[in-house]
Structure 1
């Protein structure tokens, strides 16, 4: 193998950036990050081993069953990628500005795709998940990647801090030229004295389902930053043992053509 061909093996350098990034965190922050990775990685490993074993005997599994396993693998891969994206986004948010890629997106479809990626997590925790669309119009100008990152982190938090038989409701609506995305759950909730701190970087609340549920504490920090970058607002309501409701307000408008916008952080 020649030296000049080596970069071709790394068409996507995100993982290399990730390795450089984790060196900036202290051991406790890294441990929290690893705790977030482990469940998804374990699932991907199990699915990979099963698919590898089944591929040796083409008659041993039906098309429907194989499709189900591949779908599970795909969904868990999406979750894993989003967690890595969070770590990478933390690095980007330390800069003085951020570039938005704005275009007219199908808001309903975009949010629904994120909701669907949690199907496996919801099933395993035996939590109910409901998506409600109150939108008359589906399209809105936004940075779809940032929007989906916001929705992912909000649902991820709800899933993490809910118990068996709890409920999570995601709703979207348009009112007075504003878009409202709401994620509400009946989980463990947040004490009132901690609410002002939940958007702080690496904040860890006092209430947790278990030690393994503790993550980086970066999700809501990233959500808050991205909401501001998108010229929006965020509202949070919560009570211990009652649940949490987080509502995102974004401007509703359409573009004549896609564009990029440099935003100061």
Structure 2
């Protein structure tokens, strides 16, 4: 390898190492969740603050695609009772997908509401949407439909499976509504503190 290409190849090796590390951690996480061996560390925390913090992580990638994140929060503080680390992972995965599959110059709406003594969190994008025949399969491990294969070359197809398992482990619900070429909305519930 010519010396002038060393940096390039080291960068590729580093990216692939990170990708494989993420894949391994995702598989281990799924196995733990699926086996029912997960122990949730419940605590009370402010979901609104968590959303603000996680959204700030995506500012750079949103700026590149000229995506606006519209955050609509119920109250200044909204206390929920859940495993903080696991819910952080859920929100991160949902926002990551929303940014990846959103078109340029669109918006992502993230909202918290209270209904029926539950906190409802939704992430709605104006992306490519999920084909109707793929919707029942999106929670399956390693599932990627044809649209996502073209847009998400680095993804493992495990993110939504992990999201579903975490929400299920909390005895909560998650739903998805999607229309091709219009967008997708994921919404899940959490217990109020």
Q: Do they superpose with TM above 0.5?
A: yes
Number of residue pairs matched by the alignment:
178
Q: Deviations over 1:179-229 (max 9, x none)?
A: 100000000001111100000111011213835545101111000000011
Query: Which residue is equivalent to 2:173?
Result: 233
Tell me the distance in 1 between the aligned counterparts of 2:177 and 2:136: 11
Tell me the distance in 1 between the aligned counterparts of 2:15 and 2:181: 27
Query: Which residue is equivalent to 1:182?
Result: 122
Query: Which residue is equivalent to 1:21?
Result: none
Q: Can you give the 5+ residue segments of structure 2 that lack an aligned partner in the other structure?
A: 1-11
- The TM-score, its normalising length taken from structure 1, stands at 0.61
Q: Can you give the 5+ residue segments of structure 1 that lack an aligned partner in the other structure?
A: 1-34, 42-80, 255-265
Mark the CA change 1:139 to 1:96 in structure 2 (over 3 Å): closer, same or farther. Answer: closer
SS of corresponding position for 1:160: helix
- The TM-score, its normalising length taken from structure 2, stands at 0.82
Tell me the distance in 2 between the aligned counterparts of 1:193 and 1:185: 19
**Over alpha carbons, which structure has the higher Rg?**
1
2:131 aligned with 1:131, yes or no? no
Q: Deviations over 1:32-87 (max 9, x none)?
A: xxx9x949x7xxxxxxxxxxxxxxxxxxxxxxxxxxxxxxxxxxxxxxx9877535
Task: Assess if the C-alpha contact under 8 Å between 1:135 and 1:172 holds in 2.
Answer: no
Tell me the distance in 1 between the aligned counterparts of 2:139 and 2:132: 14
